[in-house]
Structures are given as C-alpha cells and as structure tokens.
Amino acid sequence: MNDFLEGQSKPTTTSSDALAIGIDLGGTNLRAALYAGIDDARQTDASALVTLAEASSKVGESRDPTTVVRRLGEQVRELKAAAGNSTIPVGIGFAGMLEGKGGFVVNSPHLHWNDVPFGRLLREELADERVGVFNDVNAVTFAEYTLGSGARADDVLAVFVGTGIGGGLIAGGQLIEGATGCAAEIGHTKVVIDESARPCACGLRGCVEAYVGGHYLQRRARGELAGGARSLAVSIAGGIEKVNPSHLDKAAARGDDYSLDLFAEVAPLLGTVLANAVTLLNPSHLILGGGMLSRTPVLRDHVECALEVAINPPAAKQLTIVDAALGGRAGTVGAALLAYDRYSY
C-alpha cells in the first residue's frame, strides 16, 4: 500500500451503492475519501453520508504534472479496491484556476503549473471518463450548500480566507462556474491599481488576496518587523521569523499600534470586496471560512464592520452571515458530491 494510505480508516459496510471518491488537492495537503450514501445525503438526509475510507498526506516536493497524476491514479485505484467497485465517480478539488469543464489548469501558483490538461491526463491514467476536476473552493462551497451551514439555501456566497482567498457561488440552487470556469474568483478582485499595487501569485498586481491572504499578510509583517517596525506580535510569537496573522491578531487585541494600523489598512479592502459582491449577487447567506480568518477574530470584526458600511442596504436586509461548518473534510465531501452529480450513471 502506498504511503498516502498509511493510517487509512478501515472500510465499513453500508447498504447504499451511491458511492463517490473525493480528493482535495491543495498547495500543502492532499486528502482523499471514499463516501457512500451520496444520493440520500444530497437529497434528503445529511447524516446518510458514510465515510468508508479516508487518508491524507503532504503534497511533497515533486509537483510536476506527471508525478502528481501518477500518485493520484495509485490512490484512486486503492480506494476503488477498498470498495470492491471500479465504477465509482471521482472528483478532484483543485487549488488553481481552471478553464472550462474538462479540468484544464490555466494557472496553479502552489503547484507552479500553467496550461496543463490535468483532467485529460487523469482520465488517461485511470482509463475512466468518470473523473471531474473542480475548483477547490467551488467544491467546498457545494459541500457547505448541500450539507453544511448554507444547507438548502438557494443563494449562497462563500468566501474562504486561508493562505489565499477563494470564493464560490450558488444561485438559484445551482453552482455557478462561469463561462470559462472562473466565476467567484473573489481573491483576484483588484483593490489597488496604481504603481503601489502589491504582486499576487496569479501574476497580476493589486488583488485583495495580495493584501489579506494569510501568506501575503505574514510575509509583509515579517518583512516590516525585520525592517524596524515594532510590535507585541514578536514577543507573542517568540521571534520575528515566527510571526503569523494569529500573533498579529492577539497583539491587536492588546492594543498593539502596528497590528491595529495594519488591520485598519487591509480589513476595509476585504470588507468592501465582500460588500460589493453581496450588493451585486444578493445572496441570502454569506459563508465565511478558512484557517486564517478563523484564527484572527479582531481582523474579522474589522472586515465585517467595513462590510456593513459599504453594503447596499436592500441587499443587507435578507443577508445572514454564517461560519463554514464542515471544516477540513469539506473539500473531499464537495468533490465527491460534484462527481456523483456529474458522472454517476
């Protein structure tokens, strides 16, 4: 058994034959799960979803498409063997910009891929057409809409702030992917367009992700602190090289001028982007999640205050802001749900 499946949970029996495999391929972690009860869960009863097997590993240093596709192929075959079923639809939630519905990767900053026919390579590796590649945040959004904090609401905007910033959109009960599969890429909404605009891993400048994404905020703070800025975050973290956004947030809660000034700059950028999105799309639910945002309550309060100031009042009347509910398994659940919807037959 390959190293990916070390510690894999033992398959359990189930009477349902509605099976799907969900894989969450991010910039750091690779998670996979085999689920049963998909059909009942998506239609009537969230508790019907049963995890038959699951596992996770680090993506690792070897990130070229050939290596990643081979690893995924091995993992899928092992999960199918665990189920004793070779006709299971497979969904991949992928951290990157996709074009169309065939899984063509335009840009993945974390894997350093550009113009890779990822979906075709996977289908060739598995000799199976029941393989779908979806934007990872779309997969998470679909999971939250189907089984989580946005369950059964027809109009949902989900925004996740972690290493970067991603978004997903449900309108009229349908996942909106857009003409080229790039709908709801809210992290790449431009907030600064002059010569001071900060560079983003997407290749452009001025994206809100480049200001409030966890990786960018951490890198900026460490650089400024190393350059002479003073903050309680350094002593809280135990050194400049250890400072991360949660340390900045703790410092801000204690009245730290540096952290409060930084938040006063960046929080209105994200808050205004959210307000504009809600004004434009008029969702009933705004789901906020992601590891960075969950660990920075002071920053989140600043963001929500900016949102309240900037939002169009009629759009705010029916809006409910909720936390994402499914945690780390949302990516695999959403990928499995989407694969079942699209490829089961």
Domain residue ranges in the chain: 3-145+328-343, 149-324
Q: Tabulate helix, strand, coil % of the chain (nearest 5).
A: 45, 20, 35
Q: What is the mean pLDDT of residues 20-27?
A: 92
Spatial separation of the C-alpha atoms in residues 262 and 50, rounded to whole Å: 44
Is the fold of 3-145+328-343 the same as that of 149-324? yes
Homologous superfamily of the 149-324 domain (CATH): ATPase, nucleotide binding domain (3.30.420.40)
Spatial separation of the C-alpha atoms in residues 322 and 169, rounded to whole Å: 15
Q: Would you say 120 and 103 are in contact if contact means Cβ atoms under 8 Å apart?
A: yes
User: Which CATH number is associated with domain 3-145+328-343?
Assistant: 3.30.420.40
C-alpha distances (whole Å) from 58 to each of 4, 21, 107, 169, 199 are 8, 19, 20, 28, 27
Q: Which residues contact 317 (CB under 8 A, 6 or more apart)?
A: none
Q: Are strands 50-58 and 29-36 parallel, antiparallel or unpaired?
A: antiparallel
Q: Which two tokens stand for residue 226?
A: 């190393």
Three-class DSSP category at 344: coil
Model confidence at 9: pLDDT above 80? no
Write out pLDDT tens, residues 306-331.
999 999 999 999 999 999 999 889 99
pLDDT of residue 2: 41
Write out pLDDT tens, residues 226-270.
999 999 999 999 999 999 999 999 999 999 999 999 999 999 999
pLDDT of residue 297: 97
pLDDT of residue 345: 62
Q: Write down the residue that tokens 């959004």 correspond to.
A: 141
Write out pLDDT tens, residues 33-89.
999 999 888 887 788 899 999 988 888 888 999 999 999 999 999 999 988 888 899
Q: Would you say 154 and 72 are in contact if contact means Cβ atoms under 8 Å apart?
A: no
- Kind and range of the H or E run holding 339: helix 330-343
Model confidence at 295: pLDDT above 60? yes
The order of strands in the sheet holding 104-108 is: 97-99, 104-108, 113-116
Write out pLDDT tens, residues 183-232.
999 999 999 999 999 999 888 999 999 999 999 999 999 999 999 999 99
The pTM is what? Answer: 0.90
Spatial separation of the C-alpha atoms in residues 327 and 82, rounded to whole Å: 25
